[in-house]
Structure 1
Amino acid sequence: MSRHSNTVIPVPNQGWDERIFVFANDELVQTFIVVTQRYVMLVDTMINAATAVQLLQQAQVFLENGRQLLVINTHADYDHAWGNQVFAGPAAQHPALIIGSRLCAARLRDAETQANVTEMAAEEPHIFGDVTPTPPTVLFDEALTIDGGDLTLELFATPGHTPDHIALYIPEISTLLAADAAERPFPFARTAASLPAMRQSLARLAAYQASHVLYCHAPVTMGGQLLENNITYFDKVEQHCRVALAQERPIPAEDSDLIAAIDLPYAQAVPQDESWQTVHEFYQTTGHARQIRAMLEWLTGQMK
């Protein structure tokens, strides 16, 4: 049974500026279109050409009055940038500039990405069989500003979840597109070394105190509170891990034993709302344990 689909549906506006449109690929990921006087900006290209073409069709409605299409990659993960081939490369259906971090381009060129494409194409050829990893074509390092006429998009590095991750802020409407820098229930630190940067990125995003915050992996109604929830989660994990290390408790190999060893079950690390308490079991067990292991590893390194 396929884990992915080519379905792309619009998400109803819940009060944010009418120039921002949100689209969902089932429950996997959300992508944005920002319409300004000068540009129609597609923020991420989803999982393949089929989903990217559907986003293009939505964007084309606004390509009038001299507006140009721009594409932005928040990072190189498959659910965000594997539709890039629609906009760049020899088979591009609608050539456009693709803006992303220099690290994003490097990731889309590396052997790991190609190996992921090969593996996922073998598992789901009808979804990933035609994916060609395509790097962004306009690169920046720390920050880039796009003057859209009526709206300004401030792109800035928010590493942690991945080293190449960027977020976007639109000051005229106090709106933040956080992408994967924050998620429900938490963004994933893939390595212990990435934890400090991820937490710094969360703090930087929260400092904007934006009126509207939209995410790629959280309901559109979460708002800025999700940033605070994520910050609190990692603060709790750090606190409990420090106690466990100070008491020289053994670090079990099994996930459930590890969670018990630091005395922080998932249910106590996150808000008590039902929507948090009923997330997929993976996040409550394996995912939670991975964040604990990363924190323990990082703290142990700091203590040496």
Structure 2
Amino acid sequence: MESAPGQGSSFWLECPFTVAAPASRPKEPVLPSRTGALPPLSILLVEDNRINRIFATDLLESRGHRIVAAENGRAALECLAASPVDVVLMDIQMPVMDGLAATRAIRAGHMGIDPAVPVIGLSAYALDHERERFLAAGLDDYIVKPIDVELFFEAVRRVLARHGRAPALAAGTDGRCGALDTAALFSRYRNKAGLLIRVGREFIRSVPEQLAAMDAALCAGDMRVCERVAHTLKGNAAMFGAMAMREAAATLELAAAADDASTVGDLAPGFREVCLEALAGMDAFLGRMGG
């Protein structure tokens, strides 16, 4: 303190502080990289517990894979005899025919089944001697319950690489699950499920309105409205990975832009069908998410 009569006083205070490190901002959630992701696979899920089947099916389908389910080993053999798959996820303990017996039958080419199809076991056991028993029965690998989808896909990558096999996608697919690229949707919105449900439901609500507007415009010969509707639906389809719908919308948009009412009229029924397929796929996808 300094003070002088008639002039006033000055006060000061010194407080020693250490310099704090800059506060770190919380990191934004990072969506999983698609690098190295498996292409869509055809997977036979063999599991006798219905709850486990529902749970595993939802996990695998949400990644864009096609799932065929069987409740025991005998049913699995019938499925494989009817249609090949890329990989089998085989429960070990099941009634009627257990997983090891079914795997031995697969390796023997029973019922004309491809004996080299990859089979990954699913077991409650994790002991080393059990692993040797499973592999001796013909399993390529195995994972422990409850299913960890990332561990399963790691095992699939190892097995497919070891076998040098390419995925045998179901006829009529182009690397996607149904009318939607659900694997991309799941990855893109993984941390924002609520947002996906809201915009997905808006997509389902709005597309029929857009189609009705296009039908009315087509009847009136208004190609500008047809062009605008096709353009809008093209953008919406791209947002949700409905690529067949997007391509159809782009084709119709070009025809409308060229004032080719005849071609637009020819394309409209097929375009409507593709749109409805995309809506059904979105509705099923959101239903699995609880939306």
TM over 0.5: no
Q: Which has the larger radius of gyration?
A: 2
Higher relative contact order (CA 8 A, sep 6+): 2
TM-score by length of 1: 0.27
